Amino acid sequence: MKQAHDLQSRDTLCKREVRPFDIVSSRKGHDAGRLFIVLRADNGWVFLSDGKTRKLDNPKKKSVKHIGFEKASGWTPPLSASSARADKLIRAELGKYRGEVRGERGTKIVKG
């Protein structure tokens, strides 16, 4: 019984925290473990893009129950950017976040 309550409160927390342009990870499905940027949140659903397989023109619709919050990015794409340019910026932002995570954990390999 306690576990169901914990899951329910976690889902509520996730719904409250996820905002457009936050970085999230997929927790369920064939894309589990992949990073995405939230484009829009709507009634328990989020629309996600990674700039590569799920581009700005065709975002992934996923339940907030199946994602995990990673970081509030504070990033917004320029309004004048074309779709292809915006996808490139999304990939760059996700790559920058991956680099930060690797650097914090000390797993970044430096060739010398």
Residue 110 belongs to some domain of the structure: no
Q: Look at residue 43 and tell me if it is in a domain.
A: yes
Q: Can you read off the two tokens belonging to residue 96?
A: 């920058």
pLDDT tens column, 19-75: 899 999 999 999 999 999 999 999 899 999 999 999 999 999 999 999 999 988 777
Does residue 112 belong to any structural domain of this protein?
no
- Find the CATH number of the domain harbouring 64: 2.30.30.30
pLDDT at 109: 45
Based on C-alpha coordinates, what's the Rg of the chain?
Answer: 15
Determine the pLDDT at residue 76.
Answer: 78
Domain that holds residue 8: 2-105
For the record, the structure tokens of 20 come out as 């457009």
pLDDT at position 27 is 95
Question: pTM for this structure?
Answer: 0.73
pLDDT over 70 (residue 12): no
What total number of domains does the chain contain? 1
- Helix H, strand E, coil C: the string for the chain is CHHHHHHHHHHHHHHHHCCCCCEEEECCCCCCCCEEEEEEEECCEEEEECCCCCCCCCCEEEEHHHEEEEECCCCCCCCCCCHHHHHHHHHHHHHHHHHHHHHHHCCCCCCC
